[in-house]
């Protein structure tokens, strides 16, 4: 009786909605097989379709839904969508990845903070998740990567394409290096290319490397000649012909690392970074202090900022480790507005312009005008300007554009970076004589003017060319068959990073026999050459 009553209630209240989507229309519903219930159980009966396949209850669905992957690699594989390719050009790149597990480990260590974010953006757009590996091919996941063709950042945007996809580029900030902004722009560009080439991801990827015009013209030539117009049959630049196979080879490694004798670095399937609004310009040294984070680490998460502070006009946000975001937000809220930047009262000297003063204090004319409510560029000697200045020595902002450039330029001239702590009686003139460097250079390295007063205990950066002038030699080395960056660096007692920097190379580039490399070698440190 209870079963009959339950069936009657079920038929009116539950079966109708459940079966309304099925193709039953007016066909009779046969009770046998629709409900399975135990006369001694109070559990909700399991409803089955006319085909006798069970329709799980809500509780059963919850039990059947698999938990999200604990590992980011698993999640990445689940979204793979590029067509499977069998082509001989993939094999050499696959072989290279197999032979260089240390390279993959370094690259994925750099990728770790950003990979979860990139993967989420791809999934939200329904794009193949292999594209999350594209920065490995583009930049080895180095947000500070810069190519001889003026491409910058993880996704290697050249200036014009960056502007086309709304990446701000000015003195304060370069959106091509901002991982959040450049990822959005790169995916916008790839989706545009996907539509441009009628849904062909292979052509879209090729065009991302060499431009849609280059690929479109190659397609047109093949069609006019009656040839296949897929990626593998196009006549494209050499770099592009290798570019797509590199990505495909890498996706094969990630798809089944064990098959290739590799173990990938563990990447948990959880966000590692948070985007925090700052509400205005903020000195990065102060931000690092509020976040309890080393300043270099803050720059690595926010590589778009060129100098010592965020952009006066935005973006007003910082990327932080997710576990520090809440405490930083609270600390920033407690910081008085006037303490976000340090200020200096500058007396205008005869002959000075806003441009001179802006360069001296590492800021811009626009900032000086806005801060001092100036309508134009006219200023008068003897009056004062309020100037925002870095909270600490320029050398502490070691990953700012100026410090990176100074480091490269002075290394190329054979300089050694030193830190000098100012003592009583020190002047720029005395230090310039001691280290044999120009006074103007010494002041510039430290974000100061030659006439500025030094403070006791102040730390100054000095690129000391005298220290190793007698033993450093510039040599040109011609690459031989079988050479590698590691082998050359070991032979000449220099680091691989220096070899890359001196020659504008990236770690995933192959050396070619006959290629000439520039090296700065300490002759006293060479066992044999």
Catalytically annotated residues: 138
Q: Where are the beta strands (DSSP E) in 130-285?
A: 273-277
- Our measurement of the distance from residue 509's CA atom to the centroid of its chain's CA atoms, rounded to an integer in Å, reads 19
**Which two three-digit tokens encode residue 403?**
């410090």
CB 365 within 8 A of CB 377: yes
Residue 417 pairs with which residues in a beta bridge?
463
- Give the C-alpha separation, 356 to 90, whole Å: 54
- Pairwise CA distance, residues 395 & 446, whole Å: 7
Q: Is there a cis peptide before residue 315, judged by omega within 30 degrees of 0? A: yes
For residues 294 and 72, give the distance between their C-alpha atoms in angstroms, rounded to a whole number: 27
DSSP label at 511? Answer: P
* Angstrom distances, CA of residue 137 to CA of 134, 299, 508, 525: 5, 23, 7, 35
Angle (CA) 440 442 448, round 5°: 75
Tell me how far apart the alpha carbons of residues 348 and 11 are, in angstroms, rounded to a whole number: 89
Is the distance from CB of 288 to CB of 295 less than 8 angstroms?
A: yes
Q: How far apart are CA 477 and CA 517, in angstroms?
A: 5
Residue 514's SS3 state is coil
Report the C-alpha gap between 25 and 125 in whole angstroms.
Answer: 37
Burial class of residue 142, CB neighbours in 10 A (0-12, 13-18, 19+): buried
Reading the block at residue 365, the tokens are: 């004319």
Q: How many Å apart are CA 2 and CA 157, to the nearest integer?
A: 71
- In degrees and rounded to multiples of 5, residue 370 shows phi and psi of -65, -45
Cα atoms in the 13 Å half-sphere on the side-chain side of 167: 32
């Amino acid at each position: 009786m209870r079963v009959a009553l339950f069936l009657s209630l079920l038929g009116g209240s539950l079966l109708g909605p459940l079966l309304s989507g099925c193709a039953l229309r007016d066909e009779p519903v046969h009770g046998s097989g629709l409900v399975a219930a135990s006369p001694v159980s109070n559990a909700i009966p399991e409803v089955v379709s006319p085909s006798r396949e069970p329709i799980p209850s809500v509780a059963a669905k919850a039990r059947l839904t698999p938990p999200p992957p604990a590992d980011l690699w698993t999640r990445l594989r689940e979204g793979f969508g590029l067509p499977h390719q069998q082509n001989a050009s993939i094999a050499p790149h696959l072989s290279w990845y197999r032979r260089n597990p240390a390279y993959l480990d370094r690259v994925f260590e750099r990728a770790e903070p950003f990979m979860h974010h990139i993967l989420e953006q791809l999934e939200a757009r329904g794009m193949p998740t292999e594209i999350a590996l594209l920065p490995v091919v583009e930049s080895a996941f180095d947000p500070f990567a810069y190519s001889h063709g003026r491409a910058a950042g993880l996704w290697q945007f050249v200036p014009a394409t960056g502007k086309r996809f709304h990446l701000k580029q000015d003195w304060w900030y370069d959106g091509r290096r901002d991982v959040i902004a450049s990822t959005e722009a790169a995916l916008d560009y790839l989706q545009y290319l996907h539509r441009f080439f009628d849904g062909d991801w292979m052509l879209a990827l090729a065009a991302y490397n060499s431009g849609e015009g280059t690929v479109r013209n190659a397609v047109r030539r093949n069609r006019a000649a009656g040839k296949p117009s897929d990626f593998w049959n196009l006549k494209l630049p050499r770099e592009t012909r290798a570019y797509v196979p590199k990505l495909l080879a890498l996706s094969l490694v990630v798809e089944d690392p064990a098959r290739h004798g590799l173990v990938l670095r563990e990447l948990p399937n959880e966000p590692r970074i948070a985007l925090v609004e700052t509400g205005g310009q903020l000195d990065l040294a102060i931000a690092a202090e509020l976040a309890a984070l080393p300043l270099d680490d803050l720059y690595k998460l926010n590589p778009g900022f060129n100098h010592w502070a965020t952009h006066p006009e935005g973006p007003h946000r910082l990327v932080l480790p997710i576990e520090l975001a809440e405490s930083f937000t609270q600390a920033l809220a407690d910081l008085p507005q006037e303490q976000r930047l340090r200020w200096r009262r500058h007396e205008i000297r005869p002959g000075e312009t806003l441009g001179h003063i802006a360069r001296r204090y590492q800021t811009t004319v626009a900032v000086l005008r806005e801060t001092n409510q100036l309508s134009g560029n006219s200023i008068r000697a003897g009056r004062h300007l309020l100037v925002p200045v870095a909270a600490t020595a320029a050398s502490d902002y070691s990953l700012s554009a100026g410090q990176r450039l100074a480091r490269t330029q002075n290394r190329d001239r054979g300089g050694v970076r030193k830190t000098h702590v100012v003592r009583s009686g020190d002047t720029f003139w005395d230090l310039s004589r001691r280290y044999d460097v120009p006074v103007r250079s010494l002041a510039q390295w430290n974000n100061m003017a030659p006439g500025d007063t030094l403070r006791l205990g102040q730390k100054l950066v000095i690129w000391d060319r005298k220290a190793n002038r007698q033993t450093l030699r510039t040599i040109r080395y011609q690459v031989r068959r079988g050479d590698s960056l590691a082998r050359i660096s070991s032979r000449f007692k220099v680091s691989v990073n220096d070899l890359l920097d001196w020659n504008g190379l990236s770690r995933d580039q192959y050396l070619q026999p006959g290629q000439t490399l520039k090296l700065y070698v300490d002759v006293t440190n060479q066992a044999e050459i």
